[in-house]
Amino acid sequence: PFFLASPLETDPGALGAIDDWLLEWKWDGIRLQLIRRAGEIALWSRGEERLDGRFPEIEAAAATLPRSAVLDGELLGWRDDHDMPLPFTALQTRIQRRKPGPKALADTPARVLAYDLLELDGEDLRARPLGERRALLEGLLAAHRDPRIALSPRVTAARWEDADALRLDARAREVEGLMLK
């Protein structure tokens, strides 16, 4: 199952020290689980829909992962020469096509920003601490080196007030806000 974000209903200061938290952007894409097991690739949406065939560049990148894995992340339209994702509306044109043609692939190339590593070489990692899973995910993706599957970057803030200022500027960055983990 997907771990879904929910709004923070309290003052973030009540959460304790900001250094005890992982901050990441809340991307505006399609929540995705990418599964690579025994040479098979599957892409699952949060709505439990298989997306196989719709994002062949992601399937090709997943096929070259150095180990079997289940990744939780966000599927985004993203051109290699851009530092921000394409608007969600661009990605919507890809969702509707079961087998996108060369023009759709060129106009809206896809990328997965991975949030978490749920399984590695058949071992369920969900009970392990987030920091440990994140370190394993970083290692897996560093060995892979394919920009079509990348690590969702950490957002750094020295204080909760700084994090709030970043959150308020989120739309200018083409993101929906901040996730606190």
Residues labelled catalytic: 26
Q: Reduce the secondary structure of the chain to three states and give it as a string.
A: CCCCCCCCCCCHHHHCCHHHCCEEEEECCEEEEEEEECCEEEEEECCCCECCCCCHHHHHHHHCCCCCEEEEEEEEECCCCCCCCCCHHHHHHHHCCCCCCHHHHHHCCEEEEEEEEEEECCEECCCCCHHHHHHHHHHHHHHHCCCCEEECCECCCCCHHHHHHHHHCCHHHCEEEEEEC
